[in-house]
Amino acid sequence: MSEDTAPRPNSPEARDAASVIHPLTNLKVHLEKGPVVIEEGKGVWVTDNHGNEYIEGMAGLWCISLGYGQDRLVKAASDQMARLPYYHLTNHKSHSPVIDLAEMLLDIAPVPMSKIWFANSGSEGNDSAARIVWYYWNAMGKPEKRKIIAHQRAYHGNTIASASLSGMHYNHASFGLPLDGFLHITPPHHYRYAQPGESEEDFATRLADELDALIEDEGPETVGAFFTEPIMGSGGVIVPPPTYYEKIQAVIRKHNMLLIADEVITAFGRTGNMFGTTTMGLEPDMLVCAKGLSSAYIPISALMINARVFDVIAEESDKVGVFGLSFTYSGHPVSAAVAREALQIYAEEDIVGHVRSMEPHFMGGLKALRDHPLVGEVRGKGLVAGVELVRDKTTGEAFDPLLTVGPYCNDRAEDHGLIVRAIGDTISFCPPLIINKNEIEEMIVRFRKALDDTLDMLITQGQIAAT
């Protein structure tokens, strides 16, 4: 639906605007504009209620990795619903799907892990990890070691703790967040944050020094953990430069902190390895995954915990009496059965191998857009990428955010039957991992049309000179 079409009375769009609150949406604008109502999906394609077809270039919200119409996942859910639709894990109860799933996750973990904690969303996974950081340091006799550091522009979720971990303005503004004790450092984005002439190596060293200085300033005895997305997603698909994690991890080790990898986007093949931790050379103590774990067919998240942490929290739970974290739906059998089936599909269909064979077409096709007057930087790995639109390609000068160039381009892509996601003026791509070469090419053809429309608009408005 184009941006100036008001919903017809009693249409699904009007009924939605009258009744539904939408996340990450301007609520006031939505009352006028209404939604695009998606009705069905198959493979990488979705169809709206007017019969328009779109390539789903963002796998929904970075999540439906195996695409739409995976009958095996549907069957796994319905079989489990018929057999045992619910059981919980408290008080020494369990069930087969969750036991199988935990073992499968431990088998594929990118670094040795000891146990799996289950929750329902990435936010709850990160929230649980933050709670476990605090529990761990209490148990270690260092209750003051509870500050947690993450990146500005990181997105770790939206519970109170995970929103505090996140470094996004919109997660904090008017909510009175972050909570005390959540600190944020410069994101590892060389294109935007490097000083003039600074090499990637020097930039990485400077950021590691910044982290070290922050910890020294706060007092290392008060800083318990560092959270990172191996590749930052919602912050604009930021791929840290070589040597960044090596240097950052040396600082974390020096100050005896825990490292948590938030792999909610990057796990299960997205970056060309099963885990982004492997792609980026991380050695986390805990690892959070969600989204692709069930290919988004049903809510579930998993927090992998290594022996260093588990052994300590197990002792502490014995002292307290129970481990006091609990969700009614932790390890829900239907979610666990779907995730178990999804992991089987990743393995049987060699999804990682497929991502590797598609990466040159995907990244190569997007990089070819660098010839376009609006494209400043193209960055990514595997099948996740960001294309940053700029006013001046040679200097990287950004557009005034009030011009909303990225959102305009996003809407034009939709007009051309392509769903992407504007993060400011970075257009992000995260298609289902099952996408094929022809679909990648079609996605890029459609995106180039959206870029041309955006350029036309900027020329018409006198923002950019016609060449």
Task: Give CA–CA dist 39/46, Å, rounded.
Answer: 7
The only residue of 185, 264, 338, 378 in contact with ligand PLP, by rule CB under 6 A:
264
Smallest gap from Cβ 283 to ligand PLP, in A, equals 19
E strand intervals along 219-363: 223-228, 258-262, 286-289, 301-305
157 vs 373 by CB, closer to ligand PLP: 157
Q: How far is the CB of 223 from ligand PLP (least distance, A)?
A: 21
Residues that bind ligand PLP (rule: CB under 6 A) add up to a total of 16
Q: Which of 234, 279, 335, 428 binds ligand PLP (CB under 6 A)?
A: 234
Min dist CB 43 to ligand PLP, Å, is 22
Query: Under the criterion CB under 6 A, does residue 236 sit at the interface with ligand PLP?
Result: no
Smallest gap, in angstroms, from Cβ of residue 187 to ligand PLP? 13
Q: Give the bridge partners for 302, in sequence order.
A: 118, 289
Is the separation of the CB atoms in 236 and 401 below 8 Å?
no
Of the two residues 157 and 240, which places its CB atom closer to ligand PLP in the complex?
A: 157
Q: Which of 277, 269, 265, 278 is nearest to 353 (CA)?
A: 269
The CB-of-181 to ligand PLP minimum distance in angstroms stands at: 19
Stretch that binds ligand PLP, among 87-95, 259-267, 329-337, 359-367 (CB under 6 A): 259-267
462 alpha-carbon distance from chain centroid: 36
Binding span for ligand PLP by CB under 6 A among 39-47, 118-126, 140-148, 378-386: 118-126
**113 contacts: CB under 8 Å, gap ≥ 6:** 105, 106, 287, 304, 305, 306
Residue found by looking up tokens 């400043």 in the block? 376
Q: How far is the CB of 266 from ligand PLP (least distance, A)?
A: 8
CA distances from 259 to 35, 175, 255, 306, 450 (A): 39, 27, 11, 11, 40
Sequence letter at residue 9: P
- Considering only 61, 177, 345, 398, the residue that binds ligand PLP (CB under 6 A) is 61
Which stretch, 85-93, 134-142, 153-161, 213-221, contacts ligand PLP (CB under 6 A)?
A: 153-161
Q: Tell me whether residue 245 or residue 399 sits nearer to ligand PLP (CB atom).
A: 245
State which H helix or E strand residue 385 sits in: strand 384-389
The site map against ligand PLP for 408-447 (x = CB under 6 A) is: ----------------------------------------
153 binds ligand PLP (CB under 6 A): no
User: Which region among 1-9, 41-49, 143-151, 227-235 touches ligand PLP (by CB under 6 A)?
Assistant: 227-235
Of 367-406, binders to ligand PLP (CB under 6 A) are none
Contact 153, 167 (CB under 8 A): yes
Between 279 and 454, CB nearer to ligand PLP: 279
- Alpha-carbon gap, residue 60 to 421, rounded angstroms: 10
Residue window 288-317: x/- pattern of binding to ligand PLP, with contact defined by CB under 6 A: --x---------------------------
Burial of 283 (0-12, 13-18, 19+ CB in 10 A): middle
User: Exposed e or buried b for every residue in 151-176, given b needs 16+ CB within 10 A?
Assistant: bbbbbbbbbbbbbbbbbbeebbeeee
3-class DSSP assignment, residue 116: strand
How many C-beta atoms lie closer than 10 Å to residue 18's C-beta? 12
Q: Which of 418, 410, 413 is nearest to 53 (CA)?
A: 418
Enter the tokens of residue 153.
Answer: 């522009």
Q: For residues 445 and 185, what is the distance between their CA atoms, to the nearest angstrom?
A: 37
Selected binder of ligand PLP within 145, 147, 151, 156 (CB under 6 A):
156
Structure token digits, residue 255: 């100050």
68 part of the interface to ligand PLP, by CB under 6 A: no
**Among the residue ranges 119-127, 176-184, 390-398, 437-445, the one whose residues contact ligand PLP (CB under 6 A):** 119-127
Shortest distance in whole angstroms from residue 329 CB to ligand PLP: 13
User: By C-alpha distance, which of 418, 413, 412, 388 is closest to 401?
Assistant: 388
Select 179 or 347, whichever has its Cβ closest to ligand PLP.
179
Candidate segments 47-55, 226-234, 252-260, 389-397, binder of ligand PLP by CB under 6 A: 226-234
Among 149, 265, 385, 413, binds ligand PLP (CB under 6 A): 265
Closest separation in Å from C-beta 450 to ligand PLP: 23
- Minimum distance of ligand PLP from residue 458's CB (angstroms): 30
Residue 98 is encoded by which pair of tokens?
A: 């969750």
Interface with ligand PLP, residue 262, by CB under 6 A: yes
Residue 155 binding ligand PLP, by CB under 6 A: yes
The CA distance from 23 to 286, in Å, is 28
Nearest-approach distance from CB 453 to ligand PLP, in angstroms: 28
For ligand PLP, the binding residues (CB under 6 A) are 61-62, 121-123, 126, 155-157, 229, 233-234, 262, 264-265, 290
